[in-house]
Structure 1
C-alpha cells in the first residue's frame, strides 16, 4: 500500500504547492438502499386477503352444515314421537309434510357438503400458490442481496483505485515542484 509515510522528503515546512488534502465524494459513502418491489408486496397482501376470505367462507359453510345436522336430529326426534302416537287421519298428511321437509334438508346438506369440498380444494390450491410465490420471493431477495454485496465490493475497489490515483497525482505534483525548485537552484 501507499500510506502517508511513503511521501516523506517531498516538500518541507512552508514548501510552496505542498500536498493538497484529499477530497472524498460524500455520495459514495452513503448506504445503498435496494427497496423490495412494492408489486410483490401488493400481490402478497391480495393473497392473504383471498385466503382469509376463503377461510371465512369455509367456516360459515361448516356452521351451516352443523346447523342443518342439528335441525335434522330435532326433526327425526319429532318424527319418531309422532310415529309412536299411532295412525290417524291428520298424521298421514304430517307424514308427507315431514318426509318432504327432511328430503329438502338432505338436499341442502348435500349441496353444502359439495360446496365445502370445492372450497377445501380452492383453499388447498391457494396455499400451494402462496407457497410457490414465497419461494420465488425468497429467491429474488437472495439475488438482490448478492447484487448488493457485489456492489459494495466493487465500490471498495473503485474507492481504493481513486485513492491510489489521488496519492499518485500528489506525488507527481510534489516531484514536479521539487524538479522545478532544483532547476531554479542550478541554473
Structure 2
C-alpha cells in the first residue's frame, strides 16, 4: 500500500512539474506575442511616415516643375530696332540677336537638364520608398502570420494546462481515496 501511495505521490509531483513548465511556457509565449504586436505597431507607423514623405516629395516635385516650366516659357529674346542710319546695323543686330538666342538656348538646356536630373532623383527616391513600403507591408503580414501561429500555440498550451489540471485533480482524488482505503484497512 505504501508503494501505491508513493507511486501516486510521484505522479502528482510529475503533474505539478508539468503544469509549472506549461505555465512558464505560456508566459514566454505571451511575451513573444506582445513583442510581435509592438513591432507591428512600429512598422505600421513607419509605413505611414514613408507614405506621407512620398506624397510630400511628389507635391514638391510638381510645384518645382511647374515653376521651372513657367520660368523657361518666359525666357525669350526679341530684338528689333527702327534705325534709319545706313550703318551695317542689320548684321550687328543679327549677331547680337544670335548671341542672345544662343545664351537663352543654353540656359533653357541647362535648366531642362537640371530639372530632368531632379526628376530622375525624385523617381529613384519614390521607387526606393515604394520598395520600403512594400517590404514593411510584407513584414507586417509575416508578423500577423506569426501572431496567428502563436495564438494557436497558446490555445493549445491552455488546453494542455486544463488537461493537466484535470489530471492533477483526478490524481489527487484517487490519492485521497487510496489513502482512505489504506486507513480503513
Q: TM-score, normalised by structure 1?
A: 0.63
By how many angstroms is 1:90 displaced?
11
Instruction: Give the match for residue 105 of structure 1.
Output: 104
Instruction: Give the match for residue 177 of structure 2.
Output: 178
Which structure has the higher relative contact order (CA within 8 Å, separation 6+)? 2
Q: Unaligned stretches of 5+ in structure 1?
A: 1-24
Paired residues of 2:65 and 2:115 also in contact (CA < 8 A): yes
**1:50-65 superposed matches below 5 A:** 52-53=56-57, 55-57=59-61, 59-65=63-69
By how many angstroms is 1:103 displaced?
2.8
- Render the CA deviation track for 1:10-46: whole Å, top value 9, x for unaligned: xxxxxxxxxxxxxxx7x85979432236478558746
**1:81-96 superposed matches below 5 A:** 82-83=80-81, 85-88=82-85
Instruction: Give the match for residue 133 of structure 2.
Output: 134
Instruction: Give the match for residue 143 of structure 2.
Output: 144
Equivalent of 1:36 in 11, 34, 39: 39
Mean alpha-carbon deviation: is it higher for 106-115 or for 37-46? 37-46
Q: Between Structure 1 and Structure 2, how many residues are aligned?
A: 158
**1:20-35 superposed matches below 5 A:** 32-33=33-34, 34=36, 35=38
Mean alpha-carbon deviation: is it higher for 54-63 or for 138-147? 54-63
By how many angstroms is 1:185 displaced?
2.6
Cα RMSD after superposing both structures: 4.0
By how many angstroms is 1:159 displaced?
1.1
Q: TM-score, normalised by structure 2?
A: 0.64
Residues 1:43 and 1:96: Cα distance change in structure 2 (over 3 Å): farther
Equivalent of 2:74 in 70, 75, 84: 70
